[in-house]
Amino acid sequence: MRARIEAKNLLAHSLNHMATLVTASQQVDADVKVGIKAGLLNVCGASVDHIVDGTIEAGVDLSQVQASDFVHDPLTNSWVLQLGPAELQSCRIDYIRQQGHSLTFCLQERDA
């Protein structure tokens, strides 16, 4: 990835900590079924469906940029910043919703 800066008389002393430049973000959704098998022939089994939405982000860790990454091009009188490849920056679940569940007539132990 290359960033071109066109300016005259530019001198970079430091880069403020911006942490991450996100270059790609993908929304993901999935149908997740969780089930418990219990009892003879699973007569006491139970299951529940969930809709799960999440986000995966890739980008560049700007805290790794150094002064040597800036290169001056005298032909165009511009500065070029060479960044490393994008890497996984975050993977999170944004929303979980229970979609449906099975019925059982057996006693179930559930966490509070």
Q: What is the pLDDT of residues 16-52, one digit of tens each?
A: 555 677 878 888 888 888 888 887 887 888 888 888 8
Residue 111 phi, psi (nearest 5): -70, 145
Residue 41 phi, psi (nearest 5): 55, 25
Q: At 40, which amino acid appears?
A: L
CA atoms within 13 A on the CB side of 8: 0
* pTM, 2 dp: 0.55
Residue carrying structure tokens 């007569």: 43
Cβ distance 50 to 97 under 8 Å? yes
pLDDT band with cut points at 50, 70 and 90 for residue 112? very low
Q: What is the DSSP letter of 43?
A: T
